[in-house]
């Protein structure tokens, strides 16, 4: 017996999402069945896992299965499972509303996307249930949570409202009935009532599901008028237990879509088997695209953990380190207890050993990919490079394995990325250090005055323009025996030994000439700089600002001030370097010697500071004063 129904409005974003799903996804409408089977499989995993510690939850119904039924006359398609089921509150939360962060972003992105790309986005956001409205005019869901007495009925036509009511289901699990739209093969709407159609879809998308998917269908060799018989439509053999040679690319792709909740194809895959004191298998995938929530602080990632083919944890974060969180897949262990808990996982030394082994294997695989298929690795890097760079914060073996994989922009080739090994191979014979410069973009960095002396010598400079590159610069002090040095910090000594000695001698002579001007600049700009000195890194620009070796870079300082607040980060004073060979320096020195009290000199000092800040992409401390100084000097000059 069912109770009276209450009508509710869908959440605003959910209503928009439904409209997009129903009217904008032009192809692959049959994926609704894959999504429903995946949800049913998850529900069966849940009840089996909870049944390990609460045998009463199964209530003697231990034959876990998924059933498909059709009614040609009523044009209904029904999928049932005896899994964990849902309470009324869970139905309202998970079906009536998309109760998760990022929903608005999903809707906005879907509104500018169509076809297969839109389908991929929906898979990433985990709302595949709504694909049923591509094929059905009305959907009814009846469910009862294991251990609960009451069942709930949910129904909707996808028009912006849904109904909730009590129901008389007497066993746990969920049944979903789709009132199908008329078949329309020209627009991708197959006749899903036809046993040949849905059998083919189960075989294509869900053959690896570990529970029997049953349906009453004609036997393969049956006569036309023979009565249908109940058959299991899927093989139920876990794909990772089969020899790789016996698994097709299509089967691997469908398993990836199942485990990653991604409707696209993986970029790469890796099958692993560990034998010895600790035995386990792994089937891992690298997605072709980064998920929208890759950098969400509270988002949970991780591999599926099986113990002897029983799913124990859907997202075990301890199996791979955070810098490999983009990797999807499963690990099936033979030596962990079936009732292992999350707390036990965190403390189990075997899990730590597995993480070390798996991460080492993944990094080795990525190195082989870099060497054998640079284009595919470049695609991977474009999606997940900043995540891999996060691992540089690790110590010893981890950092040593990661560093050869890192790709950087550089002054060598504007259209290519380089590894550190490739950089070292191109170093000039007299070059002793690896040079880099951090910044917010290539456009800013490659026009920096800090590069001038290095360009004149033909020395390559790495452009570190990802926010995480600041971490890389801080952690990587040397590579392949070569010190790693910022061209924007410290002092510069370039060329061979004789050239360096000559440069220092020239600079020493210039200090005698410009000493008084440097003292004036340091005094006048005392609130903004900690020193004024002559530069050996400038060849065409009049001035630049540099930091001491231990200082924050300007880009990192700006980033910290934006994230933590301007008052939370003390603004650093840096060193103003003056190019002694530039005409501006010579003219200023002459004017200073002629009249040290000339008020215009103060304006020139402020202009030099502003020039240096703007050249490196920093903000002016007092834009109004800078503009006034320019105006005044223009008037006097004209």
Q: 423-482 pLDDT, tens per residue?
A: 999 999 999 999 999 888 898 899 899 999 999 999 999 999 988 888 888 888 899 999
Secondary structure of 250-271 in the HEC alphabet?
HHHHHHHHHHHCCCCCEEEEEE
Q: Does 186 or 301 have the greater pLDDT score? A: 301
- With 50 as the cut, is the pLDDT of residue 114 above it? no
Which of residues 1 and 606 earns the better pLDDT score? 606
Average the pLDDT over 532-540 and give the result.
91
What is the model's pLDDT at position 102?
44
CA 533 – CA 429 distance, rounded (Å): 29
Whether residue 143 is predicted with pLDDT greater than 50 in this model: the reply is yes
Kindly provide the b/e burial profile for residues 73-84, where b requires at least 16 CB atoms within 10 angstroms of the residue's own CB.
eebbbebbbbbb
**Alpha carbon of residue 421 to chain centroid:** 26
Query: How confident is the prediction for the chain on average, in pLDDT?
Result: 85
Least confident among 69-73, 106-110, 130-134, 230-234? 106-110
C-beta of residue 194 within 8 angstroms of C-beta of residue 121: no
* Residue 125 scores a pLDDT above 50: no
Would you say residue 199 has pLDDT above 90? yes
Residue 534 has pLDDT above 70, yes or no: yes
Query: What pLDDT sits at residue 345?
Result: 64
Q: Which of 303, 315, 405 is nearest to 354 (CA)?
A: 303
The pLDDT score that the predictor gives to residue 484 is 93
Alpha helical stretches, state H, 403-478: 420-426, 442-445, 452-457, 469-475
Q: What is the mean pLDDT of residues 612-638?
A: 83
Q: Please compute the mean of the pLDDT values over residues 347-357 and round it to a whole number.
A: 83
- pLDDT tens sequence across 470-526: 888 888 889 999 999 999 888 888 888 888 888 888 888 888 899 999 999 999 999
Q: Does the pLDDT value for residue 240 go beyond 70?
A: yes
Phi, psi at residue 425, to the nearest 5°?
A: -65, -25
Share of the chain above pLDDT 90, in %: 42
Where are the chain's structural domains? 6-235, 244-381, 406-486, 497-637
DSSP state of 239: G
CATH class of 406-486: alpha beta
CATH 3.30.230.80 matches 244-381: yes
* pLDDT classification of 341: cutoffs 50, 70, 90: low
Is the confidence at residue 343, as pLDDT, over 60? Answer: no
CA distance 524 to 473: 33
* 1-52: pLDDT as tens digits: 566 788 888 776 666 667 666 665 545 788 789 889 988 998 998 898 888 8
CA–CA–CA angle 162, 124, 89 (5° rounding): 35
Q: Say which residue, 218 or 389, is predicted with more confidence.
A: 389
- Report the CATH architecture of 6-235: 2-Layer Sandwich (3.30)
Say what the pLDDT of residue 3 is.
Answer: 66
pLDDT, position 120: 47
SS3 276: coil
Instruction: Return the minimum-mean-pLDDT range out of 263-272, 410-419, 526-535, 596-605.
Output: 596-605
CA 598 to CA 590: how far, in whole Å? 12
Which CATH number is associated with domain 497-637?
1.20.120.790
**Residues 6 or more apart in contact with residue 380 via CB below 8 angstroms:** 267, 268, 286, 366, 369
pLDDT greater than 90 at residue 615: no
Note every long-range contact of 57-63, with CB atoms under 8 Å and residues 24 or more positions apart, other chains counting. 57/146, 57/147, 58/146, 59/146, 59/172, 61/171, 61/172
Q: Give the mean pLDDT of 526-534.
A: 92
The mean-pLDDT minimum among 110-119, 135-144, 356-365 falls in 110-119
Backbone angles phi, psi at 266, to 5 degrees: -70, 155
How many other C-beta atoms lie within 10 A of the C-beta of residue 584? 16
Q: How many residues does the chain have?
A: 638
* CA dist., res. 181 & res. 186, Å (int): 14
Confidence of residue 166 (pLDDT cuts 50, 70, 90): very high
- The pLDDT confidence band at residue 595, using thresholds 50, 70 and 90, is confident
pLDDT at 395: 67
pTM of the predicted model, to two decimals?
0.73
Position 566 scores a pLDDT of: 63
Quote the pLDDT of residue 152. 96
Confidence grade of residue 249 (pLDDT, cut at 50, 70, 90): very high
pLDDT score recorded for residue 427: 94
Name, of 47-56, 175-184, 304-313, the range with top average pLDDT: 175-184
pLDDT confidence of residue 297: 72
């Amino acid at each position: 017996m069912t109770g009276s129904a209450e009508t509710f409005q869908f959440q605003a974003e959910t209503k928009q999402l439904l409209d997009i799903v129903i009217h904008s996804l032009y192809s692959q409408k049959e994926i609704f069945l894959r999504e429903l089977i995946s949800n049913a499989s998850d529900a069966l995993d849940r009840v089996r896992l909870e049944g390990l510690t609460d045998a009463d939850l199964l209530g003697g119904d231990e034959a876990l299965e998924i059933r498909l039924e059709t009614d040609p006359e009523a044009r209904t398609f029904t999928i049932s499972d005896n899994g964990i089921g849902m309470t009324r509150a869970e139905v309202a939360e998970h079906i009536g509303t998309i109760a998760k962060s990022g929903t608005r972003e999903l809707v906005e992105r879907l509104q500018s996307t169509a076809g297969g790309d839109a389908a991929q986005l929906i898979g990433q956001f985990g709302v595949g249930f709504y694909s049923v409205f591509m094929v059905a005019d009305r959907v009814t869901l009846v469910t009862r949570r294991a251990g609960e007495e009451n069942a709930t009925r949910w129904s909707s036509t996808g028009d912006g409202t849904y109904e909730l009511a009590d129901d008389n289901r007497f066993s746990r699990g969920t049944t979903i009935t789709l009132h199908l739209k008329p078949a329309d093969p020209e627009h991708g709407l197959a006749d899903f009532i036809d046993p040949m159609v849905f059998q083919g879809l189960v075989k294509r998308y869900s053959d690896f599901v570990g529970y029997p998917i049953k349906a009453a269908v004609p036997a393969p060799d049956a006569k036309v008028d023979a009565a249908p018989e109940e058959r299991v439509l899927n093989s139920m053999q876990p794909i990772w237990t089969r020899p790789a040679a016996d698994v097709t690319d299509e089967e691997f792709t469908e398993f990836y879509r199942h485990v990653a909740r991604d409707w696209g194809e993986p970029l790469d895959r890796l099958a692993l088997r560990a034998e010895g004191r600790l035995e386990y298998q792994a089937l891992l995938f690298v997605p072709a695209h980064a998920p929208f929530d890759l950098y969400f602080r509270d988002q949970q990632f991780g591999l599926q953990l099986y113990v002897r083919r029983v799913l124990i944890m859907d997202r075990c974060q301890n199996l791979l380190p955070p810098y490999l969180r983009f990797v999807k897949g499963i690990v099936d262990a033979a030596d962990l207890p079936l009732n292992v808990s999350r707390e036990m996982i965190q403390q189990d030394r075997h899990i730590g050993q597995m993480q070390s082994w798996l991460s080492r294997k993944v990094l080795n695989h990525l190195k082989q990919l870099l060497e054998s298929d640079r284009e595919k690795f470049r695609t991977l890097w474009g999606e997940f490079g900043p995540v891999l760079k996060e691992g540089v914060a690790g110590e010893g073996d981890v950092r040593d394995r990661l560093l050869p994989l890192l790709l950087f922009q550089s002054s060598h080739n504007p259209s290519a990325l380089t590894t550190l090994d490739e950089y070292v191979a191109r170093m000039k014979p007299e070059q002793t250090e690896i040079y880099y410069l951090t910044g917010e973009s290539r456009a800013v960095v490659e026009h920096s005055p800090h590069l001038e002396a290095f360009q004149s010598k033909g020395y390559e400079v790495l452009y570190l323009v990802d926010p995480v590159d600041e971490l890389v610069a801080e952690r990587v002090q040397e590579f392949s025996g070569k010190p790693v040095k910022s061209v924007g910090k410290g002092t510069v000594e370039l060329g061979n030994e004789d050239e360096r000695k000559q440069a220092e001698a020239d600079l020493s002579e210039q200090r005698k000439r410009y000493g008084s001007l440097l003292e004036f600049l340091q005094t006048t700009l005392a609130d903004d700089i900690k020193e004024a000195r002559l530069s050996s890194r400038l060849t065409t620009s009049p001035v630049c600002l540099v930091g001491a070796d231990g200082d924050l870079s300007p880009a990192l300082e700006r980033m910290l001030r934006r994230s933590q607040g301007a008052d939370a980060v003390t603004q650093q004073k840096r060193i103003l370097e003056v190019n002694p060979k530039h005409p501006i320096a010579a003219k200023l020195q002459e004017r200073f010697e002629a009249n040290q009290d000339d008020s215009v000199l103060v304006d020139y000092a402020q202009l030099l500071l502003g020039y240096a800040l703007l050249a490196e992409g920093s903000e002016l401390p007092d834009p109004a004063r800078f503009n006034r100084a320019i105006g005044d000097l223009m008037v006097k000059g004209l």
